[in-house]
Structure 1
Amino acid sequence: MTQYLAKYFALHRKLVLPGIGFFNTSTQPAQLEFVEKTLHAPVHTINFWQDENVADNNFISFLIKETGLNHYETINKFSQFITGLKEKLQSGVALKIPGLGILTNNENGYSFNPENLQQYFPGITAERVIRQNAQHSVRVGEDEKTSVEMHEMLNKEVVKDRWWIGAIVLAVVGVAAILYYYLSR
């Protein structure tokens, strides 16, 4: 029966154990550490709330489909399984639920130690890949051009405007003409 618990939890991210409590997951999104060039997977945390009055009819439907038993037999087997879990917990046995963690009974009720799911999702190196001379499409305003066309357009040699050279020559000629006029008199 424990394999069905883990499968249901993996598919639905929640699991109800009647008379014990319910499990669900909370997710922290993936993170990119730019300096370390590492991409960390999303962090999934398994939470447990002790509540003896919760029920989940969807789990019974799931069990019926998985086991192929009829509705009455499925409810009966699941009830026996839950009763067995409660008896083990009352006797002080720590229950290992595969894919979830370890459930124990203490003086305050039930205590849960979740399984570390991050061991299955280590961070990966995120190196920047630069491909020289690789052609791809680039959207420029309303137009779509290739990277080669954009490279040619951006790398055109700019003709430098040298208007100031002519201005200096005219200024020198003007000053020379004025000097000649006043000195020749």
Structure 2
Amino acid sequence: MYQEIYKYFVLNRKISIPGIGNFSVNTDSAKLDFVTGVLHAPQPKVAFEKGQPAIDRQFFQYLSKALNIDEKQAVQSFQAFSQSIKENIDSNKPVELPGIGKLQKGYSDDDILFTEEHAVTPAYLNDIKLSSATDSKANLVELYKTGDNLIITEETEDDRLEMIVKEKDEDYWWVYALILALMGVGALLYYYI
């Protein structure tokens, strides 16, 4: 049962468990650490809010399809699952929800403490080490796979424009030489004819 619940949570970024509360995934924004010169990637965080959840009909439809049972049986089995979690918490047994976190009884009878599980950061969310805190040539965006990494910054955009202008100047030097040669030939023809 838990595998299907976790799969729904990962796909929809939220799940509600009756008698327990609501879980949702929030994303912390990227942070720049000026002291160490590291750009920290955005991190997903699991948030828990105690309260009575609203009925999620889409979840029960998903659960009935995943378990190959009808919706009424899916609702009953999910209520039994949430009731077992509630009973474990009431008897001071911590409940581990792999990939989400740990639930345990709080200081008062109806209080639930939630501890988020530290998830492994995906490879595409690695931190970036900058050579300086104001490094504009950091490899932040790889735009095209042409052998070179094109980095999008103000400085690079200006450099790219200068390279285009230089290439145009270098490409048309022969036109100026041809015009001067024709003018020289014309001057010689005018003088001698």
TM-score with structure 2 setting the length:
0.61
- The residue type equivalent to 1:6 in the other structure is Y
% identical equivalent positions: 28
- The residue type equivalent to 1:85 in the other structure is I
Q: 2:114 aligns with which of 112, 115, 134?
A: 112
Task: Please give the residue correspondences for 1:68-87 in structure 2 after superposition, counting only pairs within 5 Å.
Answer: 68-87=68-87
User: Higher Cα Rg: structure 1 or 2?
Assistant: 1
- The residue type equivalent to 1:86 in the other structure is K
Change (3 A) 1:153 1:88: same
Provide the secondary structure at the position in 2 that maps to 1:16: strand
TM-score with structure 1 setting the length:
0.63
Q: CA deviation digits over 1:24-62, x for unaligned, max 9?
A: 122123345688664432122211111135332222112
The structure where strand makes up a greater share of residues is 1
Task: Please give the residue correspondences for 1:1-185 in structure 2 after superposition, counting only pairs within 5 Å.
Answer: 1-31=1-31, 38-108=38-108, 109-117=111-119, 119-120=121-122, 121-125=125-129, 127-128=138-139, 149-153=164-168
Distance in 2 (CA, whole Å) between partners of 1:28 and 1:22 is: 19
Provide the secondary structure at the position in 1 that maps to 2:93: coil
Provide the secondary structure at the position in 2 that maps to 1:46: strand
Q: Gaps spanning 5+ residues in structure 2: where?
A: 131-137, 143-147, 151-159, 174-193
- The residue type equivalent to 1:55 in the other structure is I
Q: What's the RMSD between the two structures over aligned residues?
A: 3.4
- Corresponding pairs, count: 144
- The residue type equivalent to 1:8 in the other structure is Y
Distance in 2 (CA, whole Å) between partners of 1:51 and 1:153 is: 67
Q: CA deviation digits over 1:93-152, x for unaligned, max 9?
A: 1111011100111233111001123644542447549xxxx7x9xxxxxxxx99865224
Change (3 A) 1:35 1:112: closer
> How far apart are 1:65 and its partner, in Å?
1.9
